[in-house]
Amino acid sequence: MELSAGTITRVNGPIVEVAGMRRLGVGELVTVGSRRLPGEVLSLASGGATVQVYEDTSGLRPGEAIAATGHPLSAELGPGLLGGVFDGMLRRLQDAGSWLEPGTLAGALDPERRWRFTPSVRAGEDVGPHRVLGTVPETDAITYRVLVPHELAGKVEMIADEGEFTVGEAIATVAGREITLAHRWPVRRPRPAAGRLRSGRPLVTGQRAVDLLFPLCHGSTAAVPGGFGTGKTLLLQQIAKWCDADVIVYVGCGERGNELAELLEDFAELEDPRSGHRLMERTVTIVNTSNMPLLAREASIYTGVTVAEHYRDMGYDAVVIADSTSRWAEALRESAARTDELPAEEGYPPELSSTLAAFYERAGRFRTLGGEEASVTILGAVSPPGGDLAEPVTAHTRRFVRTVWSLDRQLAYARHHPAISWTDSSSRDAEAVAAWEAAEGNAGWAGRRREALQLLFDAERIASVAQLTGVESLPAAERVTLISAMLLREGVLQQSALSLNDRNCAPSKQAALLALVLEVHRALLASAGQGTAIERIEALDLSDVARIRDECAPDDVDAIARLQADIQGRIGQLG
């Protein structure tokens, strides 16, 4: 379906000028040259257009042809995305060649594969937008729901019987329109929902520093700023593996190929502890590594959210992880520079802030058009140049997200992982989580969080005094605080991504570990208060408290209770 064709008049890197095209729209996707490279229309002038090409234009010449597609950059949404690996434009990478030659990638979905479809409506029924027409077992973990398009309502004129269909075959006709398993959606346009809902249950990540101190809810947003090597990727990957969402969309945006290869291996091997299914079955991986084309990197973020919204519309809780949003912002900056837009801060285009805001706005807990409650959560890494947290991308992002896990270089140097700073991080969802926990019968959650933060802050203040005066001159209670804060850091907040026992921590074990440290703290304070010499307290070997997280299974609460009793006994014997 060639809508209109024109001729290239100029090639300047990814920017191409064309003549002889009519009826093009700004933002429309075109194919460029004999290799049919994808491009996007940037601007129009009489008889001509400027096009930005998504792949390397080496060898492209004036005189080559260009063709319109009639639609903007869009994602092909249908069964077969889960478990797949795609580039930033949602083109399938698994079956592609070893080297990504320009013009060689195909679409997202396998056009040949047949899926088992089971209808859930009858012919003659009246259906509205996003009503479920039928289901497909996309993976063992997730059932794909075929929905009525968002702008369509009316009678089901035809509905297929249970059977096998390719993504392009019609499985229903509604109000005169044929419906297939797959459809396209323009990635820069948010998919519609009926309305927003208040935040609900917490997103359990299995990571203690997150769940206990700086939590977030399903449908919320979080950013992870931190210099290189502070642990952004590992933290986000841990969450991708262990959080309690239904669907994960992992977007490797301008980052490393090696770490993605490792992650994919993990997804293929690891099981979701809740469902027992392999993690791969709930995950869509979008990879546009740092050496892949810049424009597709810019698109990858939108592609990722669009895929997540698609599963949200089916009623699922989806999480989008974007590592790193700074590389996305850089891609924005590059395309702005090429179009001679006047730069604002540090060369970024003036719309950086509104673009970031609009991206995070696509997160939320929604009432879907089909009437379900579902959510999109967005987590983004931020890579500040020179670790400078005042730079534009970091500064703006902090304003738009609800939770910030700020990674601290000093903690990372000291190999305290995850290096989430307790002074620089924040969570605007903490109250909502506290209320939810209380309603679930965990009334102690908020109190323990408050106590833990207090202990960390107190220890920080006391340590800075001790730097000047020496520890000896501190009152006993303050020296106890230093001991307890160390136990809190080593025994609760540190969590190795490499430890089989510790990489994922059930909420019950999380609570038990924190309670253990707080109880030990109280017992030590009491002992000191009753006159036990502080030196004897400091000589106590409490290393088991730091070690138990690694030594007992991810949900072994009893081992922690036994240790607590044992240690309280030992403290009791002191005085």
Ligand X SMILES: Nc1ncnc2c1ncn2[C@@H]1O[C@H](COP(=O)(O)OP(=O)(O)OP(=O)(O)O)[C@@H](O)[C@H]1O
496 binds, among ligand X, Mg ion, another protein, none (CB under 5 to 8 A by kind): ligand X
Residue 261 interacts with another protein (CB under 8 A)? yes
Q: Which stretch binds another protein (CB under 8 A): 72-80, 162-170, 411-419, 565-573?
A: 411-419
Residue with Cβ nearer another protein (146 or 567):
567
Cβ–Cβ < 8 Å for 206, 419? no
How far is the C-alpha of 212 from the C-alpha of 173, rounded, in Å?
50
The CB-of-556 to another protein minimum distance in angstroms stands at 20
Q: Is 164 exposed, middle or buried (0-12, 13-18, 19+ CB in 10 A)?
A: exposed
The CB-of-405 to Mg ion minimum distance in angstroms stands at 14
The CB-of-302 to Mg ion minimum distance in angstroms stands at 21
Query: Residue 141 contacts by C-beta under 8 Å, 6 or more apart in sequence?
Result: 82, 272, 275, 277, 278, 281, 282
Please give the size of the binding site for another protein, defined by CB under 8 A.
64
Q: Which stretch binds ligand X (CB under 6 A): 81-89, 224-232, 391-399, 436-444?
A: 224-232
Order across the sheet with 115-119: list the strands.
143-147, 132-137, 115-119, 163-165
Residue 58 interacts with another protein (CB under 8 A)? yes
Strand bridging mode 132-137 / 48-53: unpaired
The CB-of-410 to another protein minimum distance in angstroms stands at 11
| DSSP result, 48-62 | EEEEEESS--TT--T
Residue 289 interacts with Mg ion (CB under 5 A)? no
Positions in 212-241 near Mg ion (CB under 5 A): 232-233
Please give the size of the binding site for Mg ion, defined by CB under 5 A.
2
Query: Residue 513 contacts by C-beta under 8 Å, 6 or more apart in sequence?
Result: 208, 491, 492, 505, 548, 549, 560
Residue 254 interacts with ligand X (CB under 6 A)? no
Q: Cα angle vertex 406, ends 397, 234, to 5°? A: 105
Nearest to 516 by CA among 479, 556, 477: 556
63 binds, among another protein, Mg ion, ligand X, none (CB under 5 to 8 A by kind): another protein
Which sign does the torsion angle of CA 156, 157, 162, 166 carry? negative
Q: What is the dihedral of CA 72, 105, 381, 411, to 10 degrees?
A: -170
Residue 413 interacts with ligand X (CB under 6 A)? no
Residue with Cβ nearer ligand X (221 or 233):
233
Positions in 324-363 near another protein (CB under 8 A): 327, 330, 333-334, 337, 343, 346-347
492 binds, among Mg ion, another protein, ligand X, none (CB under 5 to 8 A by kind): none
* Residue 399 vs residues 223, 350, 353, 402, 421: alpha-carbon distances, Å: 10, 16, 10, 8, 18
Please give the size of the binding site for ligand X, defined by CB under 6 A.
15
Give residue for tokens 């919204």. Answer: 309
Q: Which x/- pattern over 348-387 shows residues binding ligand X (rule: CB under 6 A)?
A: -----------------------------------x----
Query: Residue 118 contacts by C-beta under 8 Å, 6 or more apart in sequence?
Result: 134, 135, 136, 162
Positions in 480-499 near ligand X (CB under 6 A): 495-498
Q: How far apart are the first and last CA of the chain?
A: 87
Task: Select the residue interacting with ligand X from 33, 84, 380, 418 (CB under 6 A).
Answer: 418
Interface with another protein (CB under 8 A): 9-13, 17, 35, 56-63, 85, 93-94, 96-101, 104, 227-229, 252, 254, 256-262, 264-265, 287, 289-292, 294, 327, 330, 333-334, 337, 343, 346-347, 383, 385-388, 413-415, 470, 498, 543
Interface with ligand X (CB under 6 A): 226, 228-234, 383, 417-418, 495-498
